[in-house]
Structure 1
Amino acid sequence: MIEVQTLAKTLTIPSQLTLDRQPPTLILGGGFTGLFTALHLSHQHYKIPTILIDRSSRFIFKSLPYEFLSDELNTKYICPRYDTLLHESGIEFIQDMIQSIDLQQRQVQLASGLHYNYGNLVLSLGSVAAYFDVEGAEEYTLPFRTTEDAVALAKQLRNCLQRAIHTQKPQQQALLTVAIVGAGRTGIELAATLADLLPNWYAALGSNVADIRVVVIQREQEILKGDSDSLQQTAQTALRERKVPVEVLLATEAIAVRRNTVVMKRNNHIEQLSAATIIWTTGSAIDPLISTLSIPEAHHDRQGRLKLTNALQLLDFPEVFAGGDCTVMEQYPATSQVAYQQGATIAHNLQALAEGHSLLPAEIGLRENLMKLGLEEGRS
């Protein structure tokens, strides 16, 4: 978070721009890869006109919606505006939806009707929620990927607490139950935050915080699959130590979602959990635009993500670079720290192309990821 703002504050306008007729470099998507590509290009005094396009007006620190939900951080730190971050950078920002990408014609069509031909393209389209064909999941669950999602969730939770005060049991219990489907990092961090936050909110209403339930539903036999055993153990301990202990249902599959109900398969039995708030945090899929690209199937992985050269170019289109969730680097996880380092590599290689120099392979350094396991509490 500090790094992106520090980089943005020290931007300078490129000393010279090329002729207007030169096709620009387009950056599609303002996630970590896209934004850091733009910021580094500005620092390098990249002379080719560059345009960053994103559907949102703000950059989202996807690891920080918890702080937004709990008011621990100011909005300007969690979701700064692109026009502020790119002020006097020489990078043009356009807020628009990307309608289509034609790699052969080197053209991008926007929903507004604008279209651009490009010299180089950077794909940083990120991912979308995946519901795995679970009946009712998309209709009856809340996502938790953006600050807008955090606002909607906070409104839902406060509404449920208010209604619970005036509701008799057993209907009251559903209003006070939060079900979180998925025990990856997002699900576990969210569960820990809510298990501290909801008791604070409910106590302020003069009610019994012991009635609140936070339940995590996990299909696998463990939480935080793929993380170290020590982090899994640390997280399990933290979940038990919250103001309201988090209940974790392992080896439990959500097979359907109905209004205020999760239908689960557990120990070969069908069970139902009544919850007025159901949050979907399990799984992601590539942006649908990626599947429309004219790229051989062999150059996607099984999840549809793009395979790249070691310089982060598409295998069939060397003028196109890519990074973030829509790509695959087999030795690295799809995390923000990998994505912003990809942005630095892409910016370097775009500059190298412009100056006729050799490209460099991506070199990614991994640091421990900090997890938020309750209010004002982080673990790694």
Structure 2
Amino acid sequence: MTSPVYQTVIVGGGFTGLFTALHLAHEHYPRSVILIDKNERFCFKPLLYEYFDGEMNAFQVVPRFSELLKGSGVIFIQDAVQSIDLHQKEVKLASGNSYNYSNLVLALGSVTGYHHVEGAKEHAFPFWTQADAIALDRHLRDCLQQAIQTKDPEQRRKLLTVVVVGGGASGVEMAATLADFLPRWYGSLGGKIWEIRVVIIHHGQVILEGDINDSLRPIAEKELQKRTVPIEIFTEAETTSVHPHEIEYKINNQVKKLPTSTTIWTAGTSIHPLIKDLPISQENRDEHDRPLVTRALQLLEFPEVFAGGDCAGVQDKSLPPTAQVAYQQGSDIARNLKALALEEKLKPSKVNIRGTLLKLGINDAAANLFNTLEVVGEPAHLIRQGTYLTLLPTPIHDFKATTEWLDENIFHHHLPFKMFFKKMCKYWHRLKLQF
């Protein structure tokens, strides 16, 4: 007779997965915990723009899982998940290894959604991981270097035009970042910075439509025009195809072509293939085909399985796909896993949305705190970075990263903000467990 397996397997090392593991370690969970992710490093996605443009370093934004989990007792496996068998309670990996579980946590997030647009997957740059940021960085630097050397004005215009597809929060933050630091790069090469062109192509009537940052739209629209080069915004424009040196879009029923050497795709997400393939009936999935979970974050048909973040929908409740939601759900899953192990009653997950933070360029942002206070410009930038840094995993990493940031951004370069920072510390303390 085979002995029962008492271990929890977490697939996916994003916010939900990593914070579930860390909270289990902190709460002295009585069962072994295995965290599986294909990447070596955790990616703190809200700050990936800062890593991309050089405002923050790899230690702060993309720390190694081995460092974050050191001394926690959590076993980290760097491998790709090949299949998940909910009936046999088994996770199979690309390496050929497999793990049985007594409890499973699905934290795979979502994937870039190309929505069947011709050439988008092949020719547009996604922006999800450290590898994506590095690839885009190299490509853009190469484009600027070619532009400074070419004498053909049309070729130079194409090389210096960057198109961001999608006017949600990711598209707005990406475009704002590009419109500030690309001119710096090009100017340092001796180029004319006004030749840089950054364009947002958005299918909706307005940017940030239906987004959690919707209330910040008026601020965002103004700030996007204040960048080093103003950002062009094409609304009610449907991208129809992406080519290596051109993007096609439809506006007012007319197909137009825009020459560009760089297309960045931020136009939504799709369900992770592994989540899509789970044996879960359609009536227990939401409108995005994600499996529904109870208020305690358990799958309806498989209560030993928990799910959170982008890869699941909570019954009768709509939550935005943001870091603050995934972070809090990780904590709630850990609490309920421990309750199960101790045969205690499970509690419903309670997610508190305490405002929004939107990057609007280098040293610029907008913040809506507690839905009562709006802050704009450099103060909002400091709030945003300081808030996120207090959420970086593990106390040691949190302390190191935050003190490095304080020295660089407050006490070294921004002495007038010392008093402002002290006043905002109380806000960060309240935000710490919310974002």
Q: Which structure has the highest helix share of the two?
A: 2
Q: 2:167 aligns with which of 183, 201, 219?
A: 183
Structure 1 residue identity aligned to 2:344: H
Q: How many residues align?
A: 361
Shift in Å, 1:366 = 0.8
Asked if 1:363 is matched to 2:350, the reply is yes
Q: In the superposition, relative to structure 1, how do residues 364 and 230 fare at CA in structure 2: closer, same or farther (>3 Å)?
A: closer
> Matched residue of 1:25: which SS?
strand
Q: Distance in 2 between matches of 1:207 and 1:335?
A: 38
> Matched residue of 1:47: which SS?
coil
Q: Distance in 1 between matches of 2:236 and 2:210?
A: 16
- Listed as ranges, the gaps of 5+ residues in structure 1 are 1-19
Give yes or no for contact 1:22–1:48 (8 Å, CA) kept in 2.
no
Structure 2 residue identity aligned to 1:39: L
Aligned to 1:150: 133
Shift in Å, 1:47 = 1.2
Structural mapping, 1:160-179, within 5 Å: 160-167=143-150, 168-179=152-163
Shift in Å, 1:148 = 1.1
Structure 2 residue identity aligned to 1:258: H
Structure 1 residues 124-148: Cα deviation after superposition (integer angstroms, max 9, x where no partner):
0111111111111111111111121
Shift in Å, 1:204 = 0.4
Q: Distance in 2 between matches of 1:224 and 1:320?
A: 34
Structure 1 residues 227-257: Cα deviation after superposition (integer angstroms, max 9, x where no partner):
4654111111011000100000011111111
Q: 1:94 aligns with which of 57, 66, 77?
A: 77
Q: 1:373 aligns with which of 360, 377, 382?
A: 360
Aligned to 1:113: 96
Aligned to 1:220: 204
Aligned to 2:192: 208
Give yes or no for contact 1:181–1:281 (8 Å, CA) kept in 2.
yes
- Listed as ranges, the gaps of 5+ residues in structure 2 are 368-435
Aligned to 2:226: 241
Shift in Å, 1:32 = 0.6
Give yes or no for contact 1:126–1:324 (8 Å, CA) kept in 2.
yes
Shift in Å, 1:200 = 0.4
The Cα RMSD (Å) is 1.1
Structure 2 residue identity aligned to 1:102: D
> Matched residue of 2:204: which SS?
coil
Structural mapping, 1:52-131, within 5 Å: 52-131=35-114
Q: Which has the higher contact order (CA 8 A, sep 6+)?
A: 1
Give yes or no for contact 2:241–2:248 (8 Å, CA) kept in 1.
yes
Structure 1 residues 25-54: Cα deviation after superposition (integer angstroms, max 9, x where no partner):
000101111111001101111110110000
Structure 1 residues 192-230: Cα deviation after superposition (integer angstroms, max 9, x where no partner):
000000110011011110111000000110101124654
Structure 1 residue identity aligned to 2:268: G
Identity of counterpart residues, as a percentage?
A: 51
Give yes or no for contact 2:5–2:100 (8 Å, CA) kept in 1.
no
Structure 1 residues 274-330: Cα deviation after superposition (integer angstroms, max 9, x where no partner):
000111110101110011111111111121111011100000111000001101133
- TM-score, length of structure 2 as denominator length: 0.82
Aligned to 1:199: 183
Shift in Å, 1:21 = 6.7
Q: Distance in 2 between matches of 1:317 and 1:170?
A: 58
- TM-score, length of structure 1 as denominator length: 0.93
Structure 1 residues 336-361: Cα deviation after superposition (integer angstroms, max 9, x where no partner):
10011111111010100111100000
